[in-house]
Amino acid sequence: MLHPTGTRVRLIDSVVRGRSRSEGPSAPEYVKRSWLRCLNEYRLNPDSGADPVVVSRQDLLARKEQNLELVSFADVEMANLYQQLAGSGYSIILTDRDGVLLSYYGDPSFKRAASRTGLVPGAAWSERHRGTNGMGTCLLERAPVIVHREQHFLTRNTGLTCCAAPVFDPRGELVAVLDASGESDRAQQHTLVLVNMSAQMIENRLFLHRFRDAFVVRFHSRPELVGMWSEGIIALDPAGAITAADRNALFQLGCKSAHELVNAPLERVFNISLPTLIQRSHKQSFHPLPIYEARNGGRFFAVAYGPESKRRGAGVTHVALRGEPSAISKRRNGSYHTTSRFCCSAKREPARSFSRAPCTPQASAPTSLSSQSIARRCPKLRFRTSCSGLVQGGSPQPPEVSPAKSYRPTAACCSWTRSATCRLRSRLDCCTCWRSAR
């Protein structure tokens, strides 16, 4: 153990051993455990002024290539989280399982502090290198943590407040940490909640991408939360047997481990078979349907659909729920897109469904429905985005149309493809189709 000679070392040692009662509020237990590791295992000196360890450029590129899917999906959530915390002085950081910074969204006001403390891409922020900190401590605790100012082990990091949450892959292995760091005077609990929500969304996207060729059931006890960060996701084989379940699914079903569900038929978990749930989901345009837990009778709401390749090949309709990998852009050039539907109020003809397909930068609206025809058919076209404004690459607004003297509704339903090359997840409102009376 490091001999307590320095002032800060003596303070840390007294807090860890429970002898300090007048040095402000007591540190959380996970901070005390981290301090013990820094003293006993890593033998770090809190007053050390050593520069942070930064991996080579080749090593950083190799790590990004190894975690390409993770970085791609996390990029969208990091951008959204950065927008939510804009102006608060926080920077958004993603590390791999070794604590090496892969991606970084820096607030301009935090640039100087980030450079001083070593928050740069390629820097190693494991506890062994940087002592107690949000990212390194989260990797070992495997749970969301806040490390606030003086709770950092190294003196040079005591100006930081770090809110970190772990990211697990479909096998339950910790693969990354999402962190928001800044120079806040207070430990922001609400910031940690936002970070944890974003980390869960990244997990959901990794899960859906991993099992894109399997049957999927997405459920929650509240219908409006299906497709959100807290939904449960189950993957099944063609026979209807469960092959995997994410952490939220285990929590909502009261299971301690995925082994309790794997290889079990869906009827053993819910009071419905997989073919019936898929058929009903398709019939209801993939709106969440009420189902009941087989053991305790608890009510859930769920949607189910088949493998992505079969849906594309057969032209099966499917509404992309929020968080689905195929409904987001893959980094900035966009290798995914969502083909969106505009529902029409027609009494005699049901609304037409839609499909989705990969897009390229040259992709445009279908030849049978150009932007001009859309504008003629839908003068009241509107759409909203989850963030303010559209970035470069977004679809232009349809041109204005001169109002005709009289209108009458039609039973037609129009569809329009909108590329998701930007990081925004757009949601297109329903509109009513009109055309001029002859």
Question: Average pLDDT of the chain?
Answer: 77
Q: Which domains does the chain have, with CATH numbers?
A: 7-202 (3.30.450.40), 211-314 (3.30.450), 343-352+364-389+404-438 (no CATH)
Share of the chain above pLDDT 70, in %: 67
Query: By CB neighbour count within 10 A (0-12 exposed, 13-18 middle, 19+ buried), where does 382 fall?
Result: exposed
**Which band of pLDDT confidence, cut at 50, 70 and 90, is reported for residue 430?**
very low
Cα→Cα distances 238→138, 305, 417, Å? 38, 11, 31
Of residues 154 and 86, more confidence is placed in 154
Q: Does the pLDDT value for residue 159 go beyond 50?
A: yes
Examine the pLDDT at 206 and tell me if it is beyond 90.
yes
- The pLDDT value given to residue 135: 98
Confidence of residue 358 (pLDDT cuts 50, 70, 90): very low
Q: Taking residues 388-392, report their average pLDDT.
A: 37
Q: Does residue 280 carry a pLDDT above 60?
A: yes
Confidence of residue 313 (pLDDT cuts 50, 70, 90): low
Q: Summarize the confidence of residues 320-344 as an average pLDDT.
A: 42
Q: How confident is residue 415, by pLDDT bands cut at 50, 70 and 90?
A: very low
Query: Residue 422: is its pLDDT beyond 70?
Result: no
pTM: 0.70
Q: What is the pLDDT of residue 408?
A: 42
Read off the pLDDT of each residue in 23-33 and give the average, rounded to a whole number: 80
pLDDT of 98 > 90? The answer is yes
Looking at the predicted structure, is the pLDDT value of residue 250 above 70?
yes
Q: Which of 22-31, 80-89, 149-158, 396-405 has the lowest mean pLDDT?
A: 396-405
Among the listed ranges 76-85, 294-303, 390-399, which one has the minimum average pLDDT value? Answer: 390-399
Residue 398 pLDDT exceeds 80 = no
Region 149-174 average pLDDT? 95
